Structure 1
Amino acid sequence: MVAAIFWSALAMSAIVGVRYLLASGGFALATRVRQPGLYRGLERQMRREIGWSLLSALIYGIPAGIVAWGWQARGWTRIYTDVAAFPIWYLPVSVLLYLAAHDTWFYWTHRWMHRPKPFRIAHAVHHASRPPTAWAAMSFHPWEALTGAVVIPALVFIIPIHVGALAAVLTIMTIMGVSNHMGWEMFPRWMVRGPLGGWLITATHHQRHHDLYACNYGLYFRVWDRLCGTDRGLGDFTAKARA
């Protein structure tokens, strides 16, 4: 049993690492095409981001691998494979529930990490990326990586979710994590500056967090930032804004 759990955790860490390299590499390539020269002079920083991110991938993979083994071998979780097990409308609802729960956890742990001691010990690693690049999405100190690694594995014991809906959650998490750090906005202006953008976090919103630090703590939604008075609106990507 111990060997099976070990290999499951190792395999999941490899999967998370490959997913990171493909996603961040893909967005870095898109940046090279859409914003030539944006990452010029940041080669050393990007190598550091990749190093921290691969360490984070290992940490993320361990609880995920243990849970994956428990699901397959012991039926521990509430992950299901039969679409008919719940009403079809529950599929998108479960995705939203997971995103909302993850966003809540992220907001409050992220905000806590901006207190002086946790910031100095752990979160400073992430903010050492100035400006962040597409490779910075998982550039965390191990203590910070651990706080993020437990969320989805914990939720699968609480909230029922179809394996396909879980894949959708992980895909959204990956895309948003990378695109919010890549230094330019991939979503159209009408969305970012319109009513929908008033509630969703995109690169333009998260950029202000990296510029000002004490604001815009959310991951997917601006709800907690708005409720708690920490929403400072949208940033921009000009050299002046980053200075």
Structure 2
Amino acid sequence: MGSPLSPALLAIAASALAMTAIVGVRYLITSGLFALVTHRVRPGLYAGMNRQIRAEIGWSLLSAAIYGLPSGIVAWGWQAHGWTRIYTQASAHPLWWMPLSVILFLFAHDTWFYWTHRWMHRPRVFRIAHAVHHASRPPTAWAAMSFHPLEALTGAVVVPALVFLIPIHAAMLGLVLTIMTVMGITNHMGWEIFPRALVHSRLGHWLITASHHHRHHEQYRCNYGLYFRFWDHLCGTDRGVSAP
């Protein structure tokens, strides 16, 4: 008869399961909400795409489990042992650090995403993993987390790693996760939710919205960024915006 699991292992497993449930439910609610908005604003846009949408939901829920594991371990370590540089007392750092920490998290995440995304467009890696995401033609609001497990793993480690490196208030971390969720969905909706005045403004020249990312799904070899167009501009991979 095997020895019982230690309380620590049980606590880690419970934390990972809880985070998996949170990520999965958050995905279903937020993607479902934006899919409903699409149905109201662009009726018929997803007509005939039920099979694709079912596949997107299936891959996304699998991705939720992959995202939940490292997040659950880190959450347990933070609560039980004070791991990470997450803080809850606003006085622990100057107030100006709060918005700066959000910018640093987003830029670091965007940098990681850009370069791993370009790597996943190498033919062999694309066939093995990234083709799952590009099977969404065109993408829908349900496609934001539609990843092969190998691709999901590259995304799942970013924020859990950053909380060990960059001090961030718990509320600001929540803001980062909210921006990550909203932009991940709106970039894949198949239509532009933001005003044209923003998309074609000087600010829009540096931000990624559906108009920019849709071109990536059309042409594949361009527009690799997640939040910002900085790396695309710098590396000559920006091909402007499409008209979804």
TM-score where L is the length of structure 2? 0.97
Residue 94 of structure 2 corresponds to 87
Could you list the runs of 5+ residues in structure 2 that have no partner in the other structure?
1-7
Distance in 2, Cα, partners of 1:76 & 1:162: 14
User: Which residue identity is paired with 1:126?
Assistant: H
Structure 1 position 29 matched with structure 2 position 36? yes
Counterpart pick for 2:226 among 219, 225, 236: 219
Residue 155 of structure 2 corresponds to 148
Q: CA deviation at 1:110?
A: 0.2
Q: CA deviation at 1:83?
A: 0.5
Residue 107 of structure 1 corresponds to 114
Counterpart pick for 2:9 among 2, 5, 9: 2
Give 1:51-130 correspondences, 5 Å limit: 51-130=58-137
Distance in 2, Cα, partners of 1:132 & 1:192: 19
Distance in 2, Cα, partners of 1:125 & 1:76: 35
Question: Which secondary structure does the structure 2 equivalent of 1:135 belong to?
Answer: coil
Runs (4 or more) in structure 1 with deviation over 2 Å come to: none
Counterpart pick for 2:237 among 219, 224, 230: 230
The count of residues paired between Structure 1 and Structure 2 equals 237
Q: CA deviation at 1:236?
A: 1.2
Distance in 2, Cα, partners of 1:179 & 1:149: 20
Could you list the runs of 5+ residues in structure 1 that have no partner in the other structure?
238-243
Question: Which secondary structure does the structure 1 equivalent of 2:142 belong to?
Answer: helix
User: Which residue identity is paired with 2:37?
Assistant: A
Counterpart pick for 1:177 among 184, 189, 192: 184
Give 1:183-198 correspondences, 5 Å limit: 183-198=190-205
TM-score where L is the length of structure 1? 0.97
User: Which residue identity is paired with 1:81?
Assistant: T
Question: Which secondary structure does the structure 2 equivalent of 1:136 belong to?
Answer: coil
Residue 12 of structure 1 corresponds to 19
Q: Aligned Cα RMSD in Å? A: 0.4
Distance in 2, Cα, partners of 1:202 & 1:89: 27
Question: Which secondary structure does the structure 1 equivalent of 2:67 belong to?
Answer: helix
